[in-house]
Amino acid sequence: MTDAAAVLAEGALATAAAIREGRTSARAVVETTLARIAAENDRLHAFIAVMADEARAEADMLDAVQARGQSRGPLHGVPVGVKDIIDVAGQKTRAGSVTRDHLPAVTADAWCVTRLRAAGAIVVGKTHTVEYAFGGWGTNPIAGTPVNPHDRATPRNPGGSSSGTGVAVGAGLVPIGFGTDTGGSVRLPASWCGTVGHKTSMGLVSRAGVVPLALHFDTIGPLARTVADAAVMSQVMLGSDPADPSTTGAPGLDLLAGLEAGVAGLTLGVVELDASIAVDPEVAAAIARTHAALEKAGARLVTVRLPETLATYTTDCGELMMVEGAHRHGALARENPLRLSPWAAKRIGGGFDIPATRYFAGVETRSARTAAANALLAEGGIDALVLPTTPIAAQPLTAIDEAGLPGILTRFVNYLEWCGVSVPVGKTAAGLPISYQVVTPRYCDARALRIARAAEKAAGGPLPLPV
């Protein structure tokens, strides 16, 4: 029998293959996963709830199915962590906040969880999140902040808001996990924790059963060990759901068929960053190496200046998000702000200060800017944009400026309803992950994943798990 820990370290598809071929079992994989969580979670603080009994029962059922020569799907027996703004039957959905502690456990899985279970995945627990998913550094002084797994000596930020999932996958506790991305909340933890993160195009994955922050920007996506793992998880989640009107009319995509097609013949636009954005030299060097590798592999690289500055997209996206956040959760910030952390209360409550006329003007401006950005890419023959996911590596928690803008390189993707994939391409001298971001227009997710896979190969494969 193959050691379950070894196949888990390779990723979700490797784990499913080992189970399918009889080299290990779903129960062995789950026991290994639960043991690793028990050994590491007190330090990493990735999981807020572990569903050990449920996971074991699910694994035994899947092994019985396997014994009859059948399989539930491409993720048969693969453990998955679920961000705690996503409903899992029998569990509370706390959204990182004590303001929801009084709520009962939910009775049904979210759409995306249902889809993954149908493909054979096993939910092993709920992962921590920033309060109401509103924050990019990954900090949560109320429920607790997960710790970046790539530095045992200095506690560093994990990225948010899908902080627990980023840490769980980055540390190898699970090979895949759920995140949500409103302004970078899949890609930021992916970048800082050294995983692949796929921010799906708006409308590809139903948000039914997910606590909303801003439905005009919210998307669901995987964090995973490899690009292929992320592509399979996303593929499983795709589909139209009447409970989420944004999925109406979404195209059927095949995210896997061209994954290994490479970049020959593609034109990649290297985004010209604002002069005010300081990129760490080690990050810049790794990004330049990846540019060169993709060019050598046959891509044409050209510099692209977006119609607006990244700061403009980021600020205006933030204003619209705050108004929606105030609409949905503002009573907490206004009536009992002490139950929220100061920065969560400030971000949510800030929407009350934005007049309706400014909000609706912002909505109209967004539509015009999205059309302009799409036209720029189409007229220039640009297949994808490439840039760093984050301009700096993970920072010590003591150095975090909550007033800063961790999503300065990610939020424009949500604003324009595009797709974004973050893939690790190196490490700093201190061993901290550096990630490359591939951005494509809406519904061009297969192309983004294809380019990210080429970048992953150029980097030598996924980052080794931290020891």
Catalytically annotated residues: 83, 161, 185
Dihedral over Cα of 374, 217, 412, 146: its sign: negative
Are the C-beta atoms of 2 and 222 separated by less than 8 Å? no
In terms of Cα–Cα distance, which of 200, 225, 196 is closest to 210?
Answer: 200
CA distance 370 to 114: 32
CA distance 398 to 156: 8
Calculate ∠ Cα 66-70-75, nearest 5°.
75
Cross-strand partners of 177: 81, 223
Cross-strand partners of 123: 80
Are the C-beta atoms of 208 and 106 separated by less than 8 Å? no
316 CB contacts (<8 Å, ≥6 apart)? Answer: 362, 365, 366, 415
423 CB contacts (<8 Å, ≥6 apart)? Answer: 196, 227, 435, 436, 437, 438, 452, 453, 455, 456, 459
